[in-house]
Amino acid sequence: MRVAVFQIDGWQKEYLSAALVKFGHEVVCVSSSLDAEHLPDSGTEAVSVFVGSSVDRKVMEALPNMKLITTRSTGFDHIDLAAAREKNISLGYVPSYGENTVAEFAFGLILTLSRKLFPAIDRIKETSDFSFEGLEGFDLKGKTIGVVGTGRIGRHVIRIAKGFGMEVVAYDAFPNKKLAEEMNFPYVPFPEVLGVSDVLTLHVPYLKETHHLISNDNIFQMKKGAILINTSRGPVVETEALVRALKEGHLGGAGLDVLEEEGALKDEMGFVLKEKSANEESFRKIIANHILMDLPNVVITPHNAFNTREAITRILDADIQNIVSFAESGAVESPIPEI
C-alpha cells in the first residue's frame, strides 16, 4: 500500500517506516499534520495520523484511493468517523498503550500544583533565591480525589492515588462494579464527586455527552479551593467557566494538558489568516486560554501526557500492526469502535 504518515520525525520516523517497508509498503513520512490544506499524493491508500490532524470529509474526498485511516492515539475526535464509514474507509486506533503513562503525568500536574513546584523551581533558576516564602503547599495524604472516567487511565490514577493515601471517589457513566470492589472505591453521583473532591481529575473520552462536562452550570458546585486536572480532551471543560472559577477564587488551581482550540494555539497566526471556520467563539476561547496561561495557579502542558519513549514505542507497534493486518486480511487489528 501507499502509506502517508503524518506528524512524525526523528527516531519514530525511522522506526515506523523501516517496519512498514519491511512488509513491502511504500511509505512517505512528513512532520506536518493532515488536513484539507496539507494533503498527500492523491494515490495514497492509507494515512497514519496523530491528534492535531483534521481528517474530515474534504480530506477523504481529496484522497479517492484511501482505504484506511489509522491514528496513533487513543482519542479519535479528529477523524470524521461518519464520513469515513460512509466511504467504506477502515479505521484503526491505539486503544491502549500505557495507561500508566497518562496517569503518572496527571500526578505530575497534581504535585506541581499541590507543592507549588513551578514557582519554586522558577525562582531558583531565575533569581537563585532559596527562600520558601509563598511556597506552602498541601499534602495529598488524606485528601479526596474525584476520578471522572474509570477506564484504562482512570483506574491507574486510582491505584496511584491510593499509594499516596488519598480517599478516592469516582464517577463514570458506565460504572464498573467489579473494579470498584477490587480496588475498594465508591462510585458516587456526579454532583457529589464535584462537591467532595479536593482534586478532580478527568479521564473521559471527548463525546457529545462529555462536551463541557465541567461548565458554567456546575463548576461552582466544585469544592471551594479544589484543583481541576484535565488530561483528557480540551472541550471536556468550558474554558470561560474555568477562567471565572479561578479568577473569582472558587478553584485553587488547574493543571491542563489539553485545551479547547489547542490546535489554533499552536499556530495562531495561521489560524487567524487561514482558518475559515474561525468565529467569535473560537477567538473567545483563544483569549480565555491566554488568560489561563497567565494565572499563577494554572499549569499548562502541550498535550504531552502520552510522551514517553516506552509509550511511543508501544503506539508505533500498534499502528504498524493495524496497517499490516489491514493489508494482509482487510481487517485492522484495533478498529475504532462504533459509538
Taking CB under 6 A as the criterion, the residue among 69, 256, 305, 327 binding ligand NAD is: 305
Q: Which amino acid is at 186?
A: P
Say whether residue 108 binds ligand NAD (CB under 6 A): no
x/- string (CB under 6 A) for ligand NAD, residues 177-206?
--------------------------xxxx
Reply yes or no on whether 155 is catalytic: no
Residue 87 or 211 having the CB closest to ligand NAD: 211
* 117 closest CA partner among 135, 99, 103: 135
CB of 206 to ligand NAD, least distance (A): 6
**CA-CA distance, 339 to 336, in Å (whole number)?**
9
Nearest-CB residue to ligand NAD?
A: 151
Contact 271, 264 (CB under 8 A): yes
The smaller minimum CB distance to ligand NAD, of residues 1 and 49, is found at: 49
List C-alpha distances in Å: 288 to 113, 260, 281, 285, 302.
20, 10, 10, 5, 16
Give me the 218-257 binding string for ligand NAD, x by CB under 6 A, dash otherwise.
-------------xxx-----------------------x
152 binds ligand NAD (CB under 6 A): yes
How far is residue 32 from each of residues 48, 109, 315, measured CA to CA in Å?
12, 28, 18
User: Can residue 173 be called a binding residue for ligand NAD (CB under 6 A)?
Assistant: yes
72 counts as binding ligand NAD under rule CB under 6 A: no
By the rule CB under 6 A, 102 interacts with ligand NAD:
yes
Cell triple for 270: 495561521
Contact 94, 318 (CB under 8 A): yes
Residue in the structure block whose three cell numbers are 527562600: 131
Active site residue 262: yes
For ligand NAD, the closer of residues 40 and 93 by Cβ is 93
Given the complex with ligand NAD, which of 65 and 304 has the nearer CB atom?
304
No. of H helices and E strands in the chain?
Answer: 13, 11
Q: Is 217 in the site for ligand NAD (CB under 6 A)?
A: no
Piece in contact with ligand NAD (CB under 6 A), picked from 13-21, 59-67, 151-159, 259-267 = 151-159
Please name the residues in contact with 216: beta carbons below 8 A apart, sequence gap of 6 or more. Answer: 238, 240, 241, 244
Helix, strand, coil content of the chain in percent (nearest 5)? 40, 15, 40
Q: Is 174 in the site for ligand NAD (CB under 6 A)?
A: yes
303 is catalytic: yes
Active-site hit among 78, 233, 238, 333 = 233
**Shorter beta-carbon distance to ligand NAD: residue 130 or 174:** 174
Can you read off the three cell numbers belonging to residue 337? 469502535
Distances (CA, A) of 294 to 124, 164, 230, 243: 20, 30, 18, 11
- Which residues are catalytic, by number? 233, 262, 303
Residues that bind ligand NAD in the complex, under the rule CB under 6 A: 74-75, 99, 102, 148-154, 172-174, 203-207, 209-210, 231-233, 257-258, 303, 305-306
